[in-house]
Amino acid sequence: MILAISMMAFALTLAALFSYLAIKSKDLVKATVFSAGQSAAFALAFFLLMAPDIVLAYVAVAVGIYTVVLLYIISKTERYEGDEQ
């Protein structure tokens, strides 16, 4: 139980850190990669919550499809966010 709780704490803290970095990052490609990292941490959390079916769909959609689609969209526009660009 203690191990599960501490793993859960690790996964969710990691997710929080990744989402903070994704929001703060001015480089959109980096932000997308951080977002994928956040999804991976969430996948670990889902696994600890004993939802393996969700993990399988979530990893494929959030880390695979979502990331690649976002990168594709970024390739159609500018990579850096900001006023001077």
Partner 1 sequence: MSGRDVVIGIAAALLLLTIMVVVLSGGTACTPSTEIRRLAEFYLKHCINLYNKTWWTSSPAAVTSMLWDYRGIDTYYETSVFFLAIIGGVALFRVVEVKLGAGGREEKKELGLSLIVKTSTRIVFLLILIVAVSVALHGHVNPGGGFQAGSVLAVGPLLFMAAFSRRFLEDRLKLDRAKCVALLTIGLILIVLVIASPLVVGGALMQNQPKYWLPKSPWGYLTHVGPLELSGTLFFLDVAEFLVVSFGFTLLFIIVSIPEKEFRRLLGL
**Which residues of the chain form contacts with partner 1 (CB under 8 A)?**
5, 8-9, 12-13, 16-17, 20, 24, 52-53, 55-57, 60-61, 64-65, 68-69, 71-72, 76
Residue nearer to partner 1 on the CB measure, 66 or 84: 66
Cα(84)–Cα(63) distance, integer angstroms:
31
CB of 84 vs partner 1, minimal distance in Å: 19
The residue with tokens 């696994």 is 47
Q: 72: burial class by Cβ within 10 Å (0-12, 13-18, 19+)?
A: exposed
Residue 46, token pair as written in the block: 């889902």
In the complex, least distance from residue 51 CB atom to partner 1, rounded to whole angstroms? 9
Q: Rank residues 28 and 55 by Cβ distance to partner 1 and give the closer one.
A: 55
